[in-house]
Amino acid sequence: MVDLAAQHAPLRAEIDEAIARVLDSQRFVGGPEVEALERSMARLCETEFAVGCASGTDALILALEAAGVGTGDAVLCPSFTFFATAGAIARLGARPVFVDIDPATLDVGPDQAEAGRALCPDAKALLAVHLFGRVAPMGPLLRWADQHGIALIEDAAQAIGGRDADGIAAGAGGLAGCFSFFPSKNLGALGDGGVITTRSEAMAERLRTLRNHGAGPDGFHRVAGTNSRVDALQAAVLGVKLRYLDEWTKRRSQHAAEYDRLFTEAGATTAQPVDRTRPLSTPRPEPDPGIHVHNQYVVRVEAGARDTLRAQLAEDGIETRIYYERGVHLEPCFAGALAAPLPATEAACRETLALPIRPELGTADREYVAARVVRRLFR
């Protein structure tokens, strides 16, 4: 699923040079490398500001706190997501209110958000997840959020460089966009790191204050913040890798298109959820100007057959992952939390399976994966 050695090998000289530059400067926290990364991320995401932090999880916590979320506040979020989405809400003493996903895209749309608001009319924010690299419908979500006075925060950890169906860049639509540089992400550091993008100068200033123990530009601490800064070594490495991100994204898209073609020729469908007359459903294509960056390539197989297929592919030497085996609302720490009906979430947990799609995946490997899936499902 991930081969960081293959990714780093051709970049080794550039990465070594970037690390040496930081060692020579002795500027390990903040400084020009971090500032350059922040400028690059703002340009990429088409926002005025970007604020580095220590991880994607911290990005979520800081963005929610800067948006005014605190103890007792309700925040709408999907249950079909990585734990950190809801965990960040809970870390602020707020209450996650779980909503369902659109069965066709696996993202939250206005209908799912409205179902959550009906359950909890006093919700203060919506944390929308751009799952697997597909950007949620930001235009409709923004109109819905503005109508109800709800802050819209983007969990864009899996969607760097993506765009929704209207062409809105990940991280540019909501009050803030939260990105992770975990090593397995499309743009990964050599450890943890994150960034928050925003169009609001006031929001950016609050974020800078909160990430630095709550200290303002004058040095006074008017709020109690935290210590959450991306370090210069990580920023320098990310600066190198950013130059290759567009090419890596194109390769992921090419792999996905080829998977789509091979599976469709074998008889797969793009119907979501699973069409019971077909053994395999592929991701719904994203029309221009949308860009699905395929942090994962996730197919759907009828419940029961999914786990059998996964075991068979393992026998064939093919690694797969299940994202996610259960909704976050089922985690013990969220027992008793409010949750709208979640039929699409429950179906996705039973049916989804991620296949290898890393940029370094060779043509022969990709064709081998597709051939084995076809052989196991369509024989």
* CB burial of residue 271 (10 Å; 0-12, 13-18, 19+): middle
Q: Specify whether the CB–CB gap between 148 and 311 falls below 8 A.
A: no
- Minimal CA–CA distance to 250: which of 297, 184, 294? 294
Res 139: pLDDT: 97
Each domain of the chain, given as residue ranges in start order, spans 4-240, 246-378
Beta bridge partners of 153: 127, 176
Res 351: pLDDT: 95
Q: Do 4-240 and 246-378 come out as alike in CATH topology? A: no
Q: Specify whether the CB–CB gap between 293 and 161 falls below 8 A.
A: yes
CA dist list (Å): 214 to 65, 205, 223, 244, 270: 12, 11, 5, 35, 48
- Minimal CA–CA distance to 337: which of 150, 107, 129, 89? 89
* Three-state helix/strand/coil letters over 63-80: HHHHCCCCCCCEEEEECC
The CATH number of the domain covering residues in 246-378: 3.90.1150.10
Q: Is 110 helix (H, G, I), strand (E, B) or coil?
A: helix
What is the distance, to the nearest Å, from the Cα of residue 194 to the centroid of all Cα atoms in its chain?
12
Res 143: pLDDT: 98
Res 272: pLDDT: 73
Res 243: pLDDT: 98
Q: Specify whether the CB–CB gap between 363 and 122 falls below 8 A.
A: no
Res 270: pLDDT: 85
pTM summary value: 0.97
Res 114: pLDDT: 98
Res 62: pLDDT: 98
| pLDDT per residue of the chain (379 residues) written in tens, 0 to 9 | 999 999 999 999 999 999 999 999 999 999 999 999 999 999 999 999 999 999 999 999 999 999 999 999 999 999 999 999 999 999 999 999 999 999 999 999 999 999 999 999 999 999 999 999 999 999 999 999 999 999 999 999 999 999 999 999 999 999 999 999 999 999 999 999 999 999 999 999 999 999 999 999 899 999 999 999 999 999 999 999 999 999 999 999 999 999 999 999 999 988 777 777 789 999 999 999 999 999 999 999 988 899 999 999 999 999 999 999 999 999 999 999 999 999 999 999 999 999 999 999 999 999 999 999 999 999 7
Q: Specify whether the CB–CB gap between 369 and 356 falls below 8 A.
A: yes
Res 48: pLDDT: 98
Q: How many residues does the chain have?
A: 379
The CA-based diameter of the chain, rounded to the nearest angstrom, is 70
The token pair that represents 198 in the structure block: 């925003």
Res 157: pLDDT: 98
DSSP string, 31-63: SHHHHHHHHHHHHHHT-SEEEEES-HHHHHHHH
Beta bridge partners of 215: 221
| Second CATH level (architecture) for the domain 4-240 | 3-Layer(aba) Sandwich (3.40)
- DSSP code, position 332: G
* CB burial of residue 305 (10 Å; 0-12, 13-18, 19+): middle
189: left (phi over 0), alpha (psi -120 to 50) or beta: beta
Res 100: pLDDT: 98
Q: Specify whether the CB–CB gap between 168 and 135 falls below 8 A.
A: yes
Residue 197 — φ and ψ, nearest 5°? -105, 150
Res 278: pLDDT: 84
